[in-house]
Amino acid sequence: MPDLEASTITWIIGLTLVTALYLIFISPHLIPMLSRTIHQTAEDEVRKITIIDKITLYMASVLMFVVAFIMLIMFYEVVMRYLFSKPTLWVEELSRWLGGVIFLLSGLYAMQQRSHIRVVIIYDMLSRPVQRIFDLIAAACVVMFCYATATGYFKNAMTKLTTWELYGSAWNPPIPATMKPLIVIAVTWMAVQTINNLIMDWSKPKELHDPADDLK
């Protein structure tokens, strides 16, 4: 990896420290809320969560903060651009950068919540043993896709990281150097979360899906 400027190292250490403090002091208070599924109320039985689920939920709790941060800096850009005629070089690219992080990692939360799009018309008609076979096939497809993506993209991602490839703009942030490895990490954890879901849902009874729930 090339030598990084002192300011870059300072930013990396600062962001790492802020994230660590957030995970230690704030995230634990958000986990109970995030662990409830989309259609689950406070009175419903809480689904048992594993250490895999907790890691995913901790990442989701950070994404909540990132969304708020993007809104804050975009508001700052609007004020600076239209009230003071001093637009920034970094807000638009930082928003795009963080938005990419949200796009990649929010899929993990959707997987943990079982909130991805599913066509359950035929699935609900099947017996629970047959449903388990369908669950196994679906999980295998996801894992194979994640494996192919991670292994096929790993070399390119490591090249971007070790050369610390920059974006090439006026602000020139290391978007390729960070986003490409994050893709590998995200799809790898997606496979882990998928297997975790399969194990946790294997013994649960048959559940009929109400189409009205999708309109809530």
> Phi-psi region for residue 62, left (φ > 0), alpha (ψ -120 to 50) or beta?
alpha
Query: What is the tens place of the pLDDT at every residue in 134-146?
Result: 999 999 999 999 9
Work out the pLDDT band at 1, boundaries 50, 70, 90.
Answer: low
Q: pLDDT digit string (tens) for 72-121? A: 999 999 999 999 999 999 999 999 999 999 999 999 999 999 888 778 88
Predicted confidence (pLDDT) at residue 13 exceeds the cutoff of 80: yes
- Tokens representing 36 are 């409830």
Decide if pLDDT at 37 tops 80.
no
The whole-angstrom separation of Cα 131 and Cα 143 is 18
If you average pLDDT over every residue of the chain, what do you get? 88
Retrieve residue 188's tokens.
Answer: 């790898």
The pLDDT tens digits of the residues spanning 79-90 come to 999 999 999 999
Which of 116, 73, 123, 63 has its CA nearest to residue 93? 73
- C-alpha span between 175 and 104 (Å, rounded): 14
Q: Considering only CA atoms, which of 83, 77, 142, 149 is closest in space to residue 116? A: 142
Looking at per-residue pLDDT, the higher value among 193 and 216 belongs to 193
* CB distance 146 to 187 below 8 Å: yes
Looking at residue 86, its pLDDT comes to 93
Predicted confidence band of residue 206 (pLDDT cuts 50, 70, 90) = confident
CA distance 201 to 132: 9
Rg (CA), the chain: 21
